[in-house]
């Protein structure tokens, strides 16, 4: 293999991507499958998982686990089912997330638990549940990887009334740094991708409502594409990023600097 290809190769690596059926998780899962990784995707809806596995398997290896990650039991269930086929995991992508929009005066209390349970608690609980498998995959100079999906809304104040979501994403960024410090000595890197707007189920209504103005938030004048997020996720999982940990990688077309 050419040296440059080796630097960015994740061929044969075992990866698990939460929320891999649609949106950003699906884009990352597809990039990993095409790069030759053995990919497991996780979400709640069995029919969506079945469809995604059938489509992704056309390009390589993909399997699924059905679970609700917003509970500790759900996270433990994923680790148990995963252990049925493998004892080590090279790459954990904590992507599944939810949002809640409501006017400030009406913003309900339940919008905090619903969003934080999945966006923050599940990131910790799943990383904890998979720590033994991540430790088992770690080798000298070849750390295993945790990649969290944050958001530009965890850095800049959003235009929309998504209070618990923005706070949850700031928490993901800080949890990324904290876990990087704790898990680095065990051969596990922890980084976050900070996406700008990408087409997805979560973003469908916003994109429809905001139209072209959402693309104009980026100095580059467009929203994200599958290749933009796929390339970043491959890089952070690759040998080339073995000494990168605790970092936040914006993949946002400059939305943060343009706001």
Instruction: Report the interface residues with ligand NAP, using CB under 6 A.
Output: 18-19, 21-25, 42-45, 48, 68-70, 95-98, 118, 149, 151, 195, 197-198, 200-203
* CA–CA dist 167, 173 (Å, integer): 10
Least Å distance, CB 35 to ligand NAP, is: 19
Least Å distance, CB 67 to ligand NAP, is: 6
Query: Which member of 32, 82, 165, 235 is catalytic?
Result: 165
The answer to whether 42 touches 28, Cβ cutoff 8 Å, is no
Nearer to ligand NAP (CB atom), residue 100 or residue 107: 100
Least Å distance, CB 15 to ligand NAP, is: 15
Nearer to ligand NAP (CB atom), residue 32 or residue 198: 198
Neighbours of 68 (CB within 10 A): 17
Least Å distance, CB 40 to ligand NAP, is: 13
Residue the block writes with tokens 């995959």? 137
User: Pairing state of beta strands 38-43 and 61-66?
Assistant: parallel
Structure tokens at 94: 């904590």
Three-class SS of residue 85? coil
Nearer to ligand NAP (CB atom), residue 37 or residue 152: 152
With vertex at residue 64, the alpha carbon angle to CA 203 and CA 113, rounded to the nearest 5 degrees, is 50
Return the DSSP state at 153: G
Nearer to ligand NAP (CB atom), residue 210 or residue 242: 210
* CA–CA dist 9, 245 (Å, integer): 18
Least Å distance, CB 26 to ligand NAP, is: 7
Nearer to ligand NAP (CB atom), residue 18 or residue 144: 18
> What angle separates helix 122-137 from helix 72-83, to the nearest 10 degrees?
20
Of 92, 90, 102, residue with least CA distance to 128 = 92
Residue the block writes with tokens 């390589």? 60
32 included as an active-site residue: no
CA dihedral angle for residue 247, residue 249, residue 255, residue 257, rounded to 10 degrees: 50
* CA–CA dist 52, 54 (Å, integer): 5
Residue number, nearest CB to ligand NAP: 23
Q: Which residues are catalytic?
A: 165
């Amino acid at each position: 293999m050419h040296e440059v290809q080796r630097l960015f190769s994740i061929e044969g690596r075992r990866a698990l991507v939460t929320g891999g059926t649609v949106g950003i998780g699906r884009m990352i899962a597809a990039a990993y499958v095409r790069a030759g990784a053995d990919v497991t995707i996780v979400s709640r809806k069995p029919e969506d998982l079945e469809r995604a596995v059938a489509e992704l398997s056309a390009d390589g290896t993909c399997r699924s686990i059905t679970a609700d990650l917003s509970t500790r039991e759900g996270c433990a269930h994923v680790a148990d089912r995963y252990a049925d086929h493998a004892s080590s995991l090279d790459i954990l992508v904590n992507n599944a997330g939810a949002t809640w929009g409501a006017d400030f005066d009406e913003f309900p209390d339940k919008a905090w638990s619903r969003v934080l349970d999945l966006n923050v608690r599940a990131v910790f609980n799943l990383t904890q549940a998979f720590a033994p498998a991540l430790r088992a995959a770690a080798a000298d100079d070849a750390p295993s990887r945790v990649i969290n999906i944050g958001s530009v809304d965890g850095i800049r104040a959003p235009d929309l009334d998504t209070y618990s979501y923005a706070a949850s994403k700031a928490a993901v960024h800080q949890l990324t740094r904290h876990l990087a410090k704790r898990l680095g000595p065990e051969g596990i890197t922890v980084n976050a991708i900070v996406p700008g707007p990408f087409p997805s189920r979560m973003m469908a209504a916003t994109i429809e409502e905001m139209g072209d103005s959402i693309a104009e938030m980026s100095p580059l004048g467009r929203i994200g594409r599958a290749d933009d997020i796929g390339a970043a996720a491959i890089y952070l999982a690759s040998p080339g990023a073995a000494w990168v940990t605790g970092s936040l990688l914006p993949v946002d077309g400059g939305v943060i600097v343009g706001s």
